[in-house]
Amino acid sequence: MKQKQRETADIETSSDDYAARFSGAVGEWFLAVQEGITVSMLAGTPGASVLDVGGGHGQLAGPLCRRGFTVTVLGSDETCRHRIDGLVKSGACRFVAGNVLELPFPDQSFDVVMSFRLLPHCEAWPGLIRELSRVARRSVIVDYPTSQGLNAIAPALFGAKKKLEGNTREWRMFRHAEVDDAFAGNGFALKRRAPQFFLPMVLHRALRCRGLSAGMEAVCRGLGLTGLWGSPVISEYEKVRSQ
């Protein structure tokens, strides 16, 4: 009997150790930028049902619950519930353990499906996109680092990143076209793409000054650099309606 393929990268991203990477003023700023973009993409679907695949890190579950969305977090293991256990116990959100490559939900079960911090660590990423698309009624939102623009030097900075974070994993960078094509093959078209930063995140971690980093990024955004070459990006894909 053929063994089911599994991806468990979210076990690490759901840990306290991983959350420590976003402690401090700079880490909080990273999350604030991510939250602001994501919330803006959901502005047209108030109260929507949201599936957060690999969202045991809690970076978005809490903010979305507070804004009235009906949130379900899917983790590849029961341990992925740890950081959102308070939300689950209070009834603010639901947690389900299951295979991210074979989501335990019927087709079109949720208005919006999202997955953050998972795609670049998922070897079978086309299968992940297929499943995200299958269970979404309206849209899918994902984040990923791009190999286009200044972020192309990211592999050269891996040593510095590992030194700063201590437990950094290797990750995959994407070309926009390959992610767009994967979603197109599952009936979804790009609605909008929002790059988060122009300068490498490892540089901001090294500077350890939220005000300086925010100022530098504001200049880059104002010059149009972030829009052209920023990374990581948050991309929203909308279900294509048949005519």
Looking at residue 160, which CATH number applies to its domain?
3.40.50.150
Say whether pLDDT at 80 is over 90: yes
4, part of any domain = no
Number of folded domains in the chain? Answer: 1
Say whether pLDDT at 139 is over 60: yes
3, part of any domain = no
CA distance 47 to 26: 30
CA distance 139 to 236: 7
CA distance 177 to 151: 16
109, part of any domain = yes
Tens digits of residue pLDDT in 166-176: 555 567 899 99
5, part of any domain = no
pTM of the predicted model over 0.95: no
2, part of any domain = no
81, part of any domain = yes
Tens digits of residue pLDDT in 2-25: 456 789 999 999 999 999 999 999
- Give the domain extent around 228: 10-239
Tens digits of residue pLDDT in 92-131: 999 999 999 999 999 999 999 999 999 999 999 999 999 9
